[in-house]
Amino acid sequence: MNASLNLGRLGEEIASKYLLNLGYEILDQNWVFEKAEIDIIALFDNKIVFVEVKSRRSQAFGLPDSFVDENKIMNLSRAADHYLYLVDFNGEVRFDIISILFNENQSYTLNHIDDAFWPE
């Protein structure tokens, strides 16, 4: 497994534990539809929350959350719509981003952005 995939999986594990500690119920992880993978799908406050996790070792090219571009949002939206259809959910939804920036000593900074974007 390559280093960036390992870093991504570690970030998703940290994000899942973080959400569980806040009282979220994890419904699914690494859910794939067409070209999109939703990292975490959770239930919180009667809402389904689709969470994109971005992990980086450096902010040389920007903060991790800045890598969620319009194309990524479009793919996530399509996948989320399909997930909602499959589970027959008609309630409120939210799209969050959790960015994790790892330091040299393997400690990290986590930033949770609630309602980070809304697809058009």
Q: What is the DSSP string of the chain?
A: --HHHHHHHHHHHHHHHHHHHTT-EEEEEEEEETTEEEEEEEEETTEEEEEEEEEES--TT--GGGG--HHHHHHHHHHHHHHHHHHT--S-EEEEEEEEEE-TTS-EEEEEETT-----
- Greater pLDDT, 60 or 24: 24
Taking 60 as the threshold, does the pLDDT of residue 62 lie above it? no
The topology (CATH level 3) of 3-113 is: Trna Endonuclease; Chain: A, domain 1 (3.40.1350)
Please state, rounded to an integer, the average pLDDT across all residues of the chain. Answer: 88
- What percent of the chain has a predicted confidence (pLDDT) above 90? 65
Q: pTM of this prediction?
A: 0.89
The per-residue pLDDT for 65 is 60
Taking 70 as the threshold, does the pLDDT of residue 1 lie above it? no
Mean pLDDT in residue range 63-77: 77
